Chain A
């Protein structure tokens, strides 16, 4: 089972703070499943022209997917995926 956590405005699109997924082998597959479950608001934020959008930060086990293979980042049972919008602070 893969644990998926949602934060900030992403929660407005999902209506939940977290969910679980079983089966997706990559981040892209997971996001496609989530887009199907949560509709166009989530999908529009997560995807840009078929690719994962720059408007979201996605971490797998604390690592930004930009450093682990992007959408092809492999997933396995026990992983934690965190989905954030682009945010800042200081």
Chain B
């Protein structure tokens, strides 16, 4: 296992750094990344731990393929107990930081404790230092990145850090790397802030070896052919980025408007990938080793930034009733600088707009800021900044939609699952994605099981979005496969062209273990179940919490192509539990746990 790198354990309370060997059995069973990290968290963080206390652990984990020759294999994951949901957090990011960590010879970093003062970690191959970050604390992520690179005297090093949102312990704070890539969801940035850890700078000089170089070469040849000929990975994503989805989701009547009070936006084309490409795109951005290049480098005025992605356009755009791309790009840039999750930030502003328009947030609370009205460009930009700085009403917004709405006595306006904001697809119009949101281990999330692919895009099969019979099985399989891909270090977007067998071939070459498609999916199922066990230990009540907001269950979509639809979650959930080998209360059965080696 030496080729995968070592485990670094940093105790920030004591200021110590230790090196540990990887556990081969854990790699075989949980692969790495999201899987290995969750296994460590499950074993080491006791039930009931306060997510922002020194007892919580913050894990940065590569997969066996991170930094290797496999396509789009630059991903790392952050695993911790979430301050937003109280359950498992595992946030994924690309860019170049994870690959650099692999080049330095590290597979994973486990942070424990809390530093008595702000610090950053400087890793140069096997040399590791905990350094003072007093002069950098308080700076946004872009300034901090520049300062950290200057401090280590190596402009080629890679930086992961938090902005002011993480320092302020915002429950929706992201961890940023390479300035514009985010391990965005579930408030992982607040956990980093709670540990007084501003950043991690890494520089590696080795080329990470693989167990079977010939096997890797063969897997690469086969996969590259598929990626090059697949219309999504060779044309759609490179040309328009993820924002190409705006029009198709809107035309399907599943584009959540005004905090899910509608699902069709007549002005959608103004914020589409087509418009972004025409008016703002400068060039594409590719993460480490990625042949797809879905990232967008955009220019607004004199400012050059990256994005926005589809999800961000939804969150600051349609969800807030905003049509044009300018305020969305500006809000996206603010989130990248201050370190906020764009989905949670936009959806929280949308909830605040509903609270304001219905009279629950009073005008005097705005302290002269723009009124929180749907469609206000000015409000979206202003309140995003206030949220990231934790100022005035922005401090309440920085707690996320659920806590905000609860503060005002109206949690029904919070469009969240397990207290995490839902992404850009309406589960009333697209039944499978609603089931996926409801059952996602990290709360409202589309990339746990992206059934939009078969339900709307027709890949790999054309599923009817309003059908409910087929969805429990599809959601389960997609959730398992995604867990395995997240654990591998490869990007989920490769799955538009690749299947479980392809990932199995890469994992076999990298680790030497007998992975194939079946074993890869089995590892994904094991990961899904240990995440579930983590949540159950933390008190998850499935029958109350594997659900969707009442708005999706009871309020029919008012107009557009999906007029009249509600989520039929109640009919799908029992079959989902059954398909998963869980009992009728959503608890994994003893037989299922034994089958997965989790008993």
Q: Which residue of A lies closest to B254 (CB)?
A: A62
Q: Inside 8 A of A63's CB, which chain B residues have their CB?
A: 561
In contact, A7 and B247 (Cβ under 8 angstroms): yes
In contact, B561 and A61 (Cβ under 8 angstroms): yes
Is B245's CB within 8 Å of the partner chain A? yes
Is B576's CB within 8 Å of the partner chain A? no
Q: Quick one: given A55-B231, A63-B561, A88-B496, are A82 and B251 in contact (CB under 8 Å)?
A: yes
In contact, A9 and B239 (Cβ under 8 angstroms): yes
Closest Cβ–Cβ distance, residue A9 to chain B (whole Å): 7
Interface membership of chain A positions 43-70, coded 1 if the CB is closer than 8 angstroms to chain B and 0 otherwise? 0000000000011010101111011000
In contact, B462 and A8 (Cβ under 8 angstroms): no
Closest Cβ–Cβ distance, residue A67 to chain B (whole Å): 4
In contact, B492 and A90 (Cβ under 8 angstroms): yes
Q: Which residues of B130-168 have CB atoms within 8 Å of chain A's CB atoms? A: none
Q: Inside 8 A of A17's CB, which chain B residues have their CB?
A: 269
Closest Cβ–Cβ distance, residue B462 to chain A (whole Å): 4
Is B119's CB within 8 Å of the partner chain A? no
Is B464's CB within 8 Å of the partner chain A? yes
Closest Cβ–Cβ distance, residue B425 to chain A (whole Å): 10
Q: Inside 8 A of B247's CB, which chain A residues have their CB?
A: 7-8, 82, 84
Neighbour of A88 across the interface among B272, B493, B560, CB < 8 A: B493
* Majority secondary structure of chain B interface residues (helix, strand, loop or mixed): helix
Tell which of B37-45, B106-114, B194-202, B453-461 binds the partner: B453-461
Query: Total contacts A to B, CB within 8 angstroms?
Result: 101
Q: What CA separation (Å) do A63 and B452 show in the bound complex?
A: 14
In contact, A89 and B241 (Cβ under 8 angstroms): yes
Closest Cβ–Cβ distance, residue A63 to chain B (whole Å): 7
Q: Which residue of A lies closest to B310 (CB)?
A: A89
Q: Inside 8 A of A9's CB, which chain B residues have their CB?
A: 235, 239
In contact, B251 and A59 (Cβ under 8 angstroms): yes
Q: What CA separation (Å) do A64 and B312 show in the bound complex?
A: 26
Q: Inside 8 A of B269's CB, which chain A residues have their CB?
A: 17
Is A86's CB within 8 Å of the partner chain B? yes
Q: Inside 8 A of A86's CB, which chain B residues have their CB?
A: 231-232, 236, 457-459
Closest Cβ–Cβ distance, residue A75 to chain B (whole Å): 15
Interface membership of chain A positions 69-89, coded 1 if the CB is closer than 8 angstroms to chain B and 0 otherwise? 000000000000010111111
Counting chain A CB atoms within 10 Å of each CB, which of B236, B251, B453, B561 scores highest?
B251
Closest Cβ–Cβ distance, residue B446 to chain A (whole Å): 7
Q: Inside 8 A of B327's CB, which chain A residues have their CB?
A: none
In contact, A8 and B560 (Cβ under 8 angstroms): no
In contact, B248 and A57 (Cβ under 8 angstroms): yes
Q: What CA separation (Å) do A88 and B294 show in the bound complex?
A: 10
Neighbour of B561 across the interface among A57, A62, A87, CB < 8 A: A62
Neighbour of B462 across the interface among A61, A66, A90, CB < 8 A: A66
In contact, A11 and B235 (Cβ under 8 angstroms): no
Interface membership of chain B positions 559-579, coded 1 if the CB is closer than 8 angstroms to chain A and 0 otherwise? 011100000000000000000
Is A5's CB within 8 Å of the partner chain B? yes
In contact, A89 and B242 (Cβ under 8 angstroms): yes
In contact, B452 and A90 (Cβ under 8 angstroms): yes
Q: Inside 8 A of B492's CB, which chain A residues have their CB?
A: 90
Q: What CA separation (Å) do A54 and B458 show in the bound complex?
A: 9
Is B243's CB within 8 Å of the partner chain A? yes
Neighbour of B237 across the interface among A57, A66, A84, A89, CB < 8 A: A89
Neighbour of B248 across the interface among A61, A66, A84, A90, CB < 8 A: A84
Q: Inside 8 A of B459's CB, which chain A residues have their CB?
A: 86, 88
Q: Which residue of A lies closest to B252 (CB)?
A: A62
Interface membership of chain A positions 26-55, coded 1 if the CB is closer than 8 angstroms to chain B and 0 otherwise? 000000000000000000000000000011
Q: What CA separation (Å) do A89 and B248 show in the bound complex?
A: 11
Interface membership of chain B positions 236-263, coded 1 if the CB is closer than 8 angstroms to chain A and 0 otherwise? 1101111111011001110000000000
Q: Inside 8 A of B235's CB, which chain A residues have their CB?
A: 9, 85
In contact, B561 and A89 (Cβ under 8 angstroms): no
Q: What CA separation (Å) do A5 and B465 show in the bound complex?
A: 21
Q: Inside 8 A of A57's CB, which chain B residues have their CB?
A: 248, 456-458
Closest Cβ–Cβ distance, residue A40 to chain B (whole Å): 18
Is B435's CB within 8 Å of the partner chain A? no
Is B347's CB within 8 Å of the partner chain A? no
Closest Cβ–Cβ distance, residue B454 to chain A (whole Å): 11
Neighbour of B253 across the interface among A62, A67, A87, A88, CB < 8 A: A62
Closest Cβ–Cβ distance, residue A71 to chain B (whole Å): 14
Q: Inside 8 A of B447's CB, which chain A residues have their CB?
A: 90
Is B36's CB within 8 Å of the partner chain A? no
Counting chain B CB atoms within 10 Å of each CB, which of A54, A64, A88 scores highest?
A88
Q: Inside 8 A of A89's CB, which chain B residues have their CB?
A: 236-237, 241-245, 273, 294, 310
In contact, B462 and A87 (Cβ under 8 angstroms): no
Q: Inside 8 A of B561's CB, which chain A residues have their CB?
A: 59, 61-63
Neighbour of B236 across the interface among A54, A64, A85, CB < 8 A: A85
Q: Which residue of A lies closest to B251 (CB)?
A: A82
Is B274's CB within 8 Å of the partner chain A? yes
Closest Cβ–Cβ distance, residue B189 to chain A (whole Å): 21
Q: Inside 8 A of A5's CB, which chain B residues have their CB?
A: 251
Q: Inside 8 A of B242's CB, which chain A residues have their CB?
A: 89-90
Interface membership of chain B positions 420-452, coded 1 if the CB is closer than 8 angstroms to chain A and 0 otherwise? 000000000000000000000000001100101
Closest Cβ–Cβ distance, residue B286 to chain A (whole Å): 16
Q: Inside 8 A of A82's CB, which chain B residues have their CB?
A: 247-248, 251
Q: What CA separation (Å) do A64 and B251 show in the bound complex?
A: 10
Closest Cβ–Cβ distance, residue B510 to chain A (whole Å): 24
Using CB atoms and an 8 Å cutoff, list the residues of chain A in contact with chain B.
5, 7-9, 11, 17, 54-55, 57, 59, 61-64, 66-67, 82, 84-90
Q: Given contacts A7-B274, A87-B231, A88-B236, could you give 7 more A-B pairs where the C-beta distance is less than 8 Å? A: A57-B458, A88-B244, A88-B245, A88-B457, A89-B294, A90-B242, A90-B446
Q: Return 19 A-B CB contacts under 8 Å, by A number.
A: A7-B272, A8-B240, A8-B274, A57-B458, A59-B252, A62-B251, A63-B561, A64-B462, A64-B464, A66-B464, A82-B251, A85-B231, A86-B458, A87-B231, A88-B493, A89-B245, A89-B294, A90-B452, A90-B492
Using CB atoms and an 8 Å cutoff, list the residues of chain B in contact with chain A.
231-233, 235-237, 239-245, 247-248, 251-253, 269, 272-274, 294, 310-311, 446-447, 450, 452-453, 456-459, 462, 464-465, 492-493, 496, 560-562
